[in-house]
Amino acid sequence: MNPSRYFALIPAAGIGARLGADVPKQYMPLAGQPMLAHVLTTFAAASVISHVFVVVSADDGYIGELMAAAPHLQGRVSVLFDGGPSRRESVLNGLQAIRPLVGDDDWMLVHDAARPGLTAGLIEHLIETLQDDPVGGLLALPVVDTLKRSDRNARVEQTVERTALWAAQTPQMFRYSLLLRALTLAEAVTDEAGAVELLGLQPRLVEGSPRNFKVTLPHDVALAEMFLKEKS
């Protein structure tokens, strides 16, 4: 039997409404390159990853230029114009599109285009921890702040016990057939782990890094650039 392979699947079909830039946020320049180029370069350079798939929207007008300007991605990255109206649907469409190319037991590492701070070390750490896991799992960070639940008037209703709480990141790593089944059945989930949990399984939490945060709001841009400049 062939050993399982590792594939990256990058959903990049959003519009970045909360960031509100002139271009969809995955194409926003950060430290001299589009946000998505940082992510694709990190995965393409990781020898453990067999191939990288990026899911963009059917009318994406930016990916062609990005790929043309990045010869190091040729042959390592395939573009799928299969984005859907939600992140879940973009990932699901991507999984269906690559069906002939991957095995049921191959691992899929699903990673947000909006987390450009991912490093080779974090990919290795995730894979080393999960390669023999029966379920799979995700990078996540233990919550350090004291948490408050508010009422409608922004008054504290309750302090929430933070022990055992983690903030989910990506990559989220599950075997192809399990992930396809989970995302097909789940409708209102915001990450892959959420879909797998609905099958009654318990994904493993693997400690990530603050630098792998999701660029979401305008004030995140300066912090992302700081981390990206530190890397090079």
Q: Which residues bind ligand CTP (CB under 6 A)?
A: 11-19, 25-26, 55, 83-87, 90, 112-114, 214, 216
In terms of CB distance, is 15 or 226 closer to ligand CTP? Answer: 15
Work out how close the CB of 154 gets to ligand CTP at its nearest, in angstroms, rounded to a whole number. Answer: 22
Distance between CA 66 and CA 69 in Å, rounded? 5
Report the residue number, 84 or 103, with the smaller CB distance to ligand CTP.
84
Are 19 and 218 within 8 A, CB to CB? Answer: yes
**Strands across the sheet containing 6-11:** 77-80, 51-55, 6-11, 107-110, 166-175, 137-142, 204-207
38 or 87: CB nearest ligand CTP:
87
Helix (H) or strand (E) holding 95: helix 87-97
**Between 44 and 158, CB nearer to ligand CTP:** 44
What are the CA-CA distances from residue 60 to residues 64, 88, 185, 217 (Å)? 9, 18, 28, 22
Largest CA distance in the chain: 59
The Cα–Cα gap between 87 and 73 comes to 23
Closest approach of Cβ 197 to ligand CTP, in Å? 19
Q: Which of 204, 214 has the CB closer to ligand CTP?
A: 214
Closest contact distance (angstroms) between CB of 89 and ligand CTP is 7
Alpha carbon distance 81, 21 (integer Å): 22
CB of 35 to ligand CTP, least distance (A): 9
Instruction: Please identify the residue of the shown chain whose CB is closest to the bound ligand CTP.
Output: 14
Least distance in Å: CB of 74 to ligand CTP? 22
